[in-house]
Amino acid sequence: MKSMILSLFTIIFVVAPIGQAQAKNTPCSGKMGGVSHCSADGKFVCNNGKISQSKKTCR
């Protein structure tokens, strides 16, 4: 029983960081609600109506 619990904790500590590494910081992420569309000057317009501060440009 003790070895089963130890194995479970080992799996959790190995798998948990993988989820964080796959998280992406994309334009309009978080409270911005995602990308709605691109503006005429190539900036991202978020679903909440604000312009993203991202350095990336969209087409």
Give the pLDDT confidence score for residue 18 in this predicted structure: 56
Question: Residue 40 falls within a domain, yes or no?
Answer: yes
Q: What is the pLDDT of residue 58?
A: 87
At residue 48, the pLDDT reads 94
Residue pLDDT, tens place only, 8-59: 767 776 666 555 555 567 888 888 889 999 999 999 999 999 999 888 898 8
Q: Using a cut of 0.75, tell me whether the model's pTM lies above it.
A: no
Tokens 């910081």 map to which residue?
Answer: 25
Domain contains 20: no
| 51 domain residue, yes or no | yes
10 burial (CB, 10 Å; 0-12 / 13-18 / 19+) is exposed
Residue 49 belongs to some domain of the structure? yes
Q: What is the pLDDT of residue 29?
A: 86
pLDDT at 26: 82
Q: Residue 34: give the domain boundaries.
A: 30-59
Question: What is the domain count for the chain?
Answer: 1
Tokens representing residue 23 in the block: 């998280």
- Is residue 57 a part of any domain in this protein? yes
Instruction: Tell me if 55 is assigned to some domain.
Output: yes
Indicate whether 37 belongs to any domain.
yes
